Structure 1
Amino acid sequence: MPTRPADPHRRHPARSIAGWILTLSLVLAGVGWIGASGDSLASALSPEALMSDADREALVDARADFAATLAERESAFAAIDSLTGRETRLLRRSLNRSHVSTARRLGIDPEAPEAEAREDLEWLAFENPYYVARRGHLTPDALAALDSIGVRFQSRLAEAGLPAYRFVVSSAHRSAEYQAELRQRNSNAASGTSSHQFGTTFDIAYRRYRYRYTPAQPLARPVLPDSVSVLARGHLSRELDAMERAWADRMAHEYAGILEAELGRALIELENEGVLLTLREVRQPCFHVTVAKPLASAGGSA
C-alpha cells in the first residue's frame, strides 16, 4: 500500500506544543512571571497591571469614596424603627376566618380540580420589579394586589433613603388535594378550607429580600478625572457593581427586621384602604395576604 506523502504545511503536534510553551515562557518572562509566587501571578493577570500609576491611584481613591457612600447608606437602615407592638397587632387584626370569607367572595371554586382551577388563574412571574416567586398561580386581582404592595413598599424604601428591594412570595394558590397533603406533612397548615384554595391569597416571607440591582441606575458612583483611561473606567465600574451587590445582600441579611417593618407598614396602609387583609404569622415567618376587593378590572395597583 503506497505511503501518503507528508503534508509540508501540517505542523507536528509535539512541535506545536513546544512552540506554544516557548511563546508562553517569553510572555511570562516579559511580565516577570518566571519564578513568581501565586499572588504575583494573579497581580500580573489583573487589568491594573496594564494601567498607568495615575489610573491606579484614581481607582484607589474611587474605591475609598464608594466605601464611604455605602457606609453612609447603611446609616439610613439604622435610623428606621422596628415594628412597634401596636403595628404588630394591626398586622394580626384580620384572622384566618376573615381571609376565608373574603376569598370565598372573590376567588375561584376551592374544590375545583387543579387543571380546571388554573383556567381562571394567571402565572406568577418568576421575578418582576417588585417580587421574586418560585412558581404559582393567582387570580388577576391577587396579582394586582402584589403589584400594589411592591409599589408601596419600594416607595417607602425610597423615602427612607434605602435602596430598592424585592420581597419573596413563598406560597400562592393551593388546590384542595395539595392542601390536604400539606396538612399531613406540616402541622402549621390551616385545618379546614384554606384561603389559598381560592387563588386570592399568597404568603410573603418577611425575612427574605432580594436587592433590585439596576445596571442603568446604580448607587451614586465617584466622579473620575477626565484623564482616567477607558480600561480603568470599565474595570472600576465592574468592581463597584460587585461591591454594591455584595453590600446590598449583606444589608438585607443584617437588617431583615427593618425591611420587614417597612413592608409591614405598607401592608397596614393598604389594609386601611380596603385593598387587602394581612395576617402576620408567627410559626411561619410570613405575611399571609388576601386581596379584599376587585383590582384587575379597576385598572391595576392601588
Structure 2
Amino acid sequence: MAFSSCGDKSMKMNNPRNIKGVVSYKRSFGDLNAVQLKTAKAIGITPVASREEAEHLKKKLVKIEPCEYYDMDSLTHSIPYLVPTASALLESIGENFLDSLESKGLNPNKIIVTSVTRTKEDVKRLRRTNVNASMNSCHFYGTTFDISWKRFTKVEDPDGRPMQDVRADTLKLVLSEVLRDLKKEERCYVKYELKQGCFHITAR
C-alpha cells in the first residue's frame, strides 16, 4: 500500500474493514471557490467587517463548540458561528464519521474544525501568514468551515482502558468516504486543500 508522492491519490485497500477512500482527493473534492461562493452568497449572511459587527447577526447564526461529534481549534482567525444549514452539515459529518469508524471496527476519533466564519478584519490579518486567504472568501457568509485531514482527536475509553491508535492516513480515508457520500446527496461542496491540510466545505 502506498500514497503518491504529492499526497493526492488515496489508496484503495482490500481489507476486512472495507476502507476504500476515493480514487483521487483532488478530483473527488475539486469544487472551486467560484462554485462555493455562489451558494454561500445565496444562503449565507451578509459579510461583516468586524467581530463587533458580527454580534448583531447572532440571531441568524448557530454557535458551534466542541461536542460529542467534533473538536475545534482555538480559531484565532474566525468566529464559532454558522448558519443553521452549515451547523447541521458539520454535525452530520462528525456523526457519520464516528458511525463509519465503528462499522469498520476502528476506535473512535473526532474530526477537528480548524476555521469557521471570518470577518473582513480576520481575513486581513490572516493574509499576512496565509496566501490562500482571500477577500473573496466563502468564510464570510457563515456557510463554510474547514476540517483537518491531518489531525483527529482520539476518543478515550471512559473506563480508562487503553485504546489502540488509528493512523491519521486511515482516518483521512474514512473521512473522505463520508464527505463523498454527503456530496452525492448534494448537501455540500468540498475542496481538498493540500497545503493547508484541510477539507474546505460549504453547505448547500
The bucket for the TM-score relative to the shorter chain is 0.7 to 0.9
Rounded to whole Å, the distance in 1 between the matches of 2:16 and 2:200 is: 27
Greater mean deviation of Cα atoms: 158-167 or 130-139: 130-139
Rounded to whole Å, the distance in 1 between the matches of 2:117 and 2:53 is: 13
| Counterpart code for 2:71 | V
Task: Say which SS state the counterpart of residue 149 (structure 2) adopts.
Answer: strand
Structure 2 unmatched ranges of 5 or more: 1-13
Equivalent residue number for residue 172 of structure 2:
260
Structure 1 unmatched ranges of 5 or more: 1-75, 219-237, 293-302
Structure 1 runs of 4+ off > 6 angstroms? none
Question: Deviation of residue 84 (structure 1)?
Answer: 4.1
Q: Does 1:110 align with 2:47?
A: yes
Q: Which has the higher helix share?
A: 1
Equivalent residue number for residue 184 of structure 2:
272
Alignment of 1:1-302 (within 5 A): 81=19, 83-86=21-24, 88-92=26-30, 94-118=31-55, 119=58, 120-125=60-65, 127-133=66-72, 134-135=74-75, 136-189=80-133, 191-215=134-158, 238=160, 241=161, 243-244=162-163, 247-248=164-165, 251=166, 255-292=167-204
Rounded to whole Å, the distance in 2 between the matches of 1:122 and 1:179 is: 21
| Counterpart code for 2:27 | R
Question: Deviation of residue 272 (structure 1)?
Answer: 0.8
Per-residue CA shift, 1:245-290, capped at 9, x if unaligned? xx33xx3xxx111111110110111011011111111111000011
Greater mean deviation of Cα atoms: 132-141 or 103-112: 132-141
Q: In the superposition, relative to structure 1, how do residues 177 and 160 fare at CA in structure 2: closer, same or farther (>3 Å)?
A: same
Rounded to whole Å, the distance in 1 between the matches of 2:189 and 2:39 is: 9
Task: Say which SS state the counterpart of residue 196 (structure 1) adopts.
Answer: helix
Aligned residues: 183
Rounded to whole Å, the distance in 1 between the matches of 2:84 and 2:100 is: 25
Task: Say which SS state the counterpart of residue 201 (structure 2) adopts.
Answer: strand
- TM-score, normalization by structure 1: 0.56
Rounded to whole Å, the distance in 2 between the matches of 1:274 and 1:158 is: 25
Rounded to whole Å, the distance in 1 between the matches of 2:20 and 2:99 is: 18
| Counterpart code for 1:160 | K
Q: In the superposition, relative to structure 1, how do residues 107 and 87 fare at CA in structure 2: closer, same or farther (>3 Å)?
A: same
Task: Among all aligned residue pairs of Structure 1 and Structure 2, give the percentage whose two residues are the same amino acid.
Answer: 32
Q: Which has the higher strand share?
A: 2
Question: Deviation of residue 111 (structure 1)?
Answer: 3.4
Task: Say which SS state the counterpart of residue 118 (structure 2) adopts.
Answer: coil
Question: Deviation of residue 122 (structure 1)?
Answer: 2.7
Rounded to whole Å, the distance in 1 between the matches of 2:61 and 2:52 is: 10
Rounded to whole Å, the distance in 1 between the matches of 2:15 and 2:200 is: 25
